[in-house]
Structure 1
Amino acid sequence: MKDLMFASFFRHYLPWLLIGGLLPFTFAPFDQVWLPYPLFALAFCMLPTLARRNLRQFALAGWCLGFGFFTVGVSWVYFSIHDYGNASPTLAGGLTLLFTALLSLFFVLQFLLLGLSFRYGGLSRLAARRQVLFGGLLFAAVWVLFEWVRAWLLSGFPWLLLGEALPASSTGGWMSGWAPVAGVYACSLLILLMALALGLVINRLLERIRNTAESPPAPDSTGLPSWPDYTFAVLVLALVLGGYGLSSVQWTSANGPVLSAALVQPNIAQALKWKSSEQDRIVRTYIDMTTPIWDADIILWPETALPLYQHQAVNLLKQLGQRADSEQAAFFTGILTVSESDAGEIQVHNSFIGLGKASGQYDKQRLVPFGEYVPMQSILRGLIDFFNLPMSDMRPGRTEQAPLTMQLNSSGETYTVAALICYEVVYPDFVASQAADVDLMITVSNDTWFGRSIGPLQHLQIARMRALEQQKPILRGTNNGVTAIIGADGIIQDRLAQFESGVLRGEVQPRQGATPFARTGSMPILLLCGLLIVGVVLQARRA
């Protein structure tokens, strides 16, 4: 019995686990952007076998894929739990695996919907080549829908969206033209459709090899593509060429002159950040690093730069604002602020403020679970240090907040700025709603929590995709990396090395206007995926 169980696992589920485990190498820092095509082509060739299985087996295959995907792709969670939660390696490893196992439930739901679509469409009764084509189309549409589901269900975790691998190449790839038109989910769909085209070719070759061993040959076993295959290949080719053509379209335009920017990266150890004995030293570090750069149009400090609340730093902020004003500079910094709710409750916010020639305040809306708030805190508080991290009892800001502004006398222009604090940049539609009518995006972060892991580099790659979707530049300021200036095409113009203190000086071109994606969000591509599922199921039932 055990031998049969192991044989079943190795045959039916291990391939899905391996596909999931290899897929994260598509993303930064590995940037193997070719990898999804053979991996998903293999997955599509396995669909005829999967189509004959029950829903429980569909769910298990999905869980295996998800567990491999998240265990490798978000392994950086371990560093937060071990290094800053003071958990032993065994406990940190166990909690990380529990976290990725729970995240894998997204893929369980995804494969259950896929299995229901297979069952209702009657795919198991079709020829293998039709199962690959119809099943692959269903797989692609369901995959994209669940990338979107991951962006909002249970506060959302839209990390490692397939389309975000595009900015890995210097030009964003020949599909990058679709990003400002339809967003990251459209790019995910196109990658899957291209992989399906490869899967159809591989499946036909395998079928031809099997047929050459038969005598007489099986009917319709020429090994040549059929008309549906031709039609699909032409459609995919048209989409690819369309993306290449769209990459030259400028949906936004320059607004005013190029501005100089200076981004401060202090590289302050997280273990020292909130120690009262370190406050004066940290403040002095920032001031000393800023003294030589007051000539810049924009000066940026990172997320929660000062180990003080805003009301504790009134005099310091006043001095900084006066200096920035006298130097004709727009000064921005992340800082903790306090407000009082309608019920009289004191609330702490992770905020971003402008001083000098900049003005306004933005309170972070999308908080990080466990880092900024603790779900079920009455149960989890006190269990281990990880559930008692500093500043893990914050409140989200209001949903309607005005953008920050800059009024620079050197250019004579007034600019609007969208602030995105840390984790907020990973939400495609949220960024679209914030950035549609601004001239510049600024994102600040403190990725120190993730140590020397792949997390900060993935975070940078995600920010590049947001710039590409909006065709707006991004200034990205961090405590210890990766501090960068990202152009409106998603290309990094300049960056600082991680784990070093320094100032990144460069230029940024504000841009006005909005991309189609900024106006419509992801709804068109989601509707397309829904229609694709319905259409394929109905066609399969008639086949």
Structure 2
Amino acid sequence: MAASILSCLRRCLTPAAPPEGSCAVRWWHYLVAAGAGALNTLSFAPTPHGGWLELVLFVFFFAWLTRTTSWKSAALTGAAFGFGNFVTGVWWLYVSMHFFGGMAAPLAGAALVLFSLYLALYPALAAALWSFCAGHARQRADDTQPFAPTWHGSFAFASAWAIGEWLRGTMFTGFPWLASGYAQVDGPLAGFAPLAGVYGVGWMLALVAALLVQALTQALTQALTQALADAPHPTSGSGSGSETSATPALRPRSYSCSCLAHSAAPAGLALALIAAGLLLPLVTWTVPANVPLSVRLLQGNMKQEMKFEQAGMLAAIDNYQRMITAQPADLIVTPETAIPLLAQNMPEPFALALRRFADSTGSSILFGAIGGTLTPEGQLVDYTNSLFGLTPNSGEIYRYDKHHLVPFGEFVPWGFRWFVDLMNIPLGDFARGAPVQRPFLVHNQPVAVDICYEDIFGEEIARTLRESPTPAGVLVNATNLAWFGNTIALDQHLQIARMRSLETGRPMLRATNTGATAVIDAQGKVTGRLPAFTVGVLEAQVQGTSGNTPYVSSGNNTVLAVSLVLLALGFAFGPGRRRGK
């Protein structure tokens, strides 16, 4: 009985090639991958310390990926994992399209599924790249040896994963929501954010997971091999034909020590990287600059369905005038399009009240409204989603125009006018602002402004800080997430904003319509937050900073360069290449 079990284990270690035409990877393999992707959504906000859960799931994902037998099965596994993650992680888009956009429920559901399938192409590409560089795709067609994770495979997986996420964040204007690094804001690898940004954190996550799989696989393989080697084997008696006593197959001790070292090396590196991620937050990349600012962040909680109706506009103007002028502060910020009117059509009593308040109290005010350009013929063109700023005792009005527009919400991609016509969402086409715009000056403290989901593009914020003649010491985001109701989108967006603080070493102020209005310090910690879906004002003292983190200085160039070089080396010198030769 023992001999038959050990024989079976031997066959598991060196399986025969699957019969021609058979399906080497069964359908349930992809179903399990999709389930793991769905579970990965729990790694992101509002789950506390979800980065540890994400690390466990990535260990499973890479181990599952090593079960694939070709680049096609690897790509399908990556696609299944991605689809499960995205369809459960951005389901709030359905709320926007159906409940606020007026799209029929079946069409909104179909649009969500199709969008999730599109996003899943990028993890599919990453898995296929890994397979070409270090997976079974590099092995000969008649290779029947079981796949074992290697150093090439670990670094190739990290690099391919980072390239896939970067492409998702840049192609077709980009959608880097749920980039794997965001879940690490409270996880063990957050310390790498100032060095290489969110994609660098994702690279490190994938590497640590692959190294742990490499170590576990080699340890289990060694243990099983040693058990087989030490097991009794039946031998033929001399001339009798009967079985004699079993003799263990002895192996040199150096063999066991070598395999143990091969397992300990990747495990040791993975643990060292986790320790580095936990200790790096102790490093100071930026220093306090200028005097602290007193700030007031306003949350009007205006219902989205009423915002662009006449009664809703009048209510918003009255509400925000009262909230702004209730109490002075160095900086007062309203949400995105808090005043849903063209700046040129602003009611005169409102404009005068804000100007008098700013001049008499020394308060600087940033408020959201619609911008426009007046032609010599007196026509308004090039509407923009803008923030306007009033500085005490200054006739100049600051203006920031949103640069990174939301597809379908703020501009219509070519060929998709029919899709926008299915929804009842106003303001479908805006003009773009410049990629780098001057900061808003508040008592000698430059403030970098962005609107809505512009803060999910860390490279653009880093570029603004890097290229501005007067780099900002405070980040401000004004947004309106009422489009997505009471969903996880609010907490996910706050988590993204925290990553921007980690990357830049600067505090972030968020003024939102329905939530999450919050103050984030330069270490990415939330120091104050208003309850969602309430009318309120968040008051705080904020200390600006100066100096550049390595990520601000180099952007995504570091992680991209490292990833491309490692993929090229893995492709050229990987184990499959050597075996083929």
Do the two structures share a fold, i.e. TM-score over 0.5? yes
Give the Å deviation of 1:491.
0.1
Give the Å deviation of 1:534.
2.2
What is the 5 A alignment of 1:484-523? 484-523=518-557
The one-letter code sitting in structure 2 at the alignment partner of 1:362 is Y
Q: 2:16 aligns to what?
A: none
Provide the TM-score with structure 1 as the length reference: 0.89
Give the Å deviation of 1:400.
3.6
Where in structure 1 are there 5+ consecutive unaligned residues? 409-413
What is the 5 A alignment of 1:124-523? 125=143, 128=146, 130-167=148-185, 169=186, 173-208=187-222, 210-211=224-225, 212=227, 215=231, 222=256, 225-294=259-328, 296-313=329-346, 315=348, 316-339=350-373, 346-357=381-392, 360-376=398-414, 379-380=417-418, 383-385=421-423, 388-406=424-442, 408=443, 414-436=444-466, 437-523=471-557
Structure-2 separation of matches of 1:330 and 1:518 = 27
Pick closer, same or farther for the CA change 1:461–1:224 going to 2, 3 Å: farther
Q: Report which stretch shifted further, 324-333 or 208-217.
A: 208-217
Structure-1 separation of matches of 2:420 and 2:183 = 39
SS at match of 1:247: helix
User: Is 1:60 aligned to residue 90 of structure 2?
Assistant: no
Which of 31, 36, 59 in structure 2 is aligned with 1:14? 31
The answer to whether the 8 Å contact 1:417/1:439 transfers is: yes
The answer to whether the 8 Å contact 1:17/1:66 transfers is: yes
The one-letter code sitting in structure 2 at the alignment partner of 1:76 is W
Structure-2 separation of matches of 1:341 and 1:218 = 90
SS at match of 2:212: helix
Where in structure 2 are there 5+ consecutive unaligned residues? 1-21, 234-248
The one-letter code sitting in structure 2 at the alignment partner of 1:421 is I
Structure-1 separation of matches of 2:380 and 2:250 = 75
The structure with more radius of gyration = 2
Structure-1 separation of matches of 2:301 and 2:140 = 56
The one-letter code sitting in structure 1 at the alignment partner of 2:383 is V
Q: 1:23 aligns to what?
A: 40
Give the Å deviation of 1:317.
2.8
Q: Report which stretch shifted further, 58-67 or 296-305.
A: 58-67
The answer to whether the 8 Å contact 2:325/2:357 transfers is: no
SS at match of 1:131: coil
The answer to whether the 8 Å contact 2:372/2:380 transfers is: no
Structure-2 separation of matches of 1:163 and 1:379 = 34
User: Is 1:533 aligned to residue 567 of structure 2?
Assistant: yes
Structure-2 separation of matches of 1:458 and 1:136 = 29
The answer to whether the 8 Å contact 2:335/2:478 transfers is: yes
Q: 2:55 aligns to what?
A: 37
Pick closer, same or farther for the CA change 1:210–1:398 going to 2, 3 Å: same
Q: 2:11 aligns to what?
A: none
SS at match of 1:394: coil
Give the Å deviation of 1:79.
0.5
Give the Å deviation of 1:393.
1.2
SS at match of 1:419: strand
The answer to whether the 8 Å contact 2:325/2:354 transfers is: no
Q: Percent identity?
A: 32
The answer to whether the 8 Å contact 2:336/2:513 transfers is: yes
Structure-2 separation of matches of 1:528 and 1:189 = 10
Q: 2:119 aligns to what?
A: 103
After superposition, give the CA deviation of every residue in 1:287-320 in whole Å (9 maximum; x if it has no partner): 22223222x1111111011021100116233431
The answer to whether the 8 Å contact 2:408/2:420 transfers is: no
After superposition, give the CA deviation of every residue in 1:424-455 in whole Å (9 maximum; x if it has no partner): 10011111112342111100100001111111
SS at match of 1:306: coil
Give the Å deviation of 1:225.
4.4
After superposition, give the CA deviation of every residue in 1:23-72 in whole Å (9 maximum; x if it has no partner): 1111001242222222222223234431x22x333332222122111101
Pick closer, same or farther for the CA change 1:6–1:202 going to 2, 3 Å: closer
Structure-1 separation of matches of 2:270 and 2:456 = 28
Give the Å deviation of 1:132.
5.0
Provide the TM-score with structure 2 as the length reference: 0.83
User: Is 1:71 aligned to residue 104 of structure 2?
Assistant: no
The answer to whether the 8 Å contact 1:204/1:223 transfers is: no
Q: 1:411 aligns to what?
A: none
The answer to whether the 8 Å contact 1:336/1:348 transfers is: yes
SS at match of 2:527: strand
Structure-2 separation of matches of 1:154 and 1:182 = 23
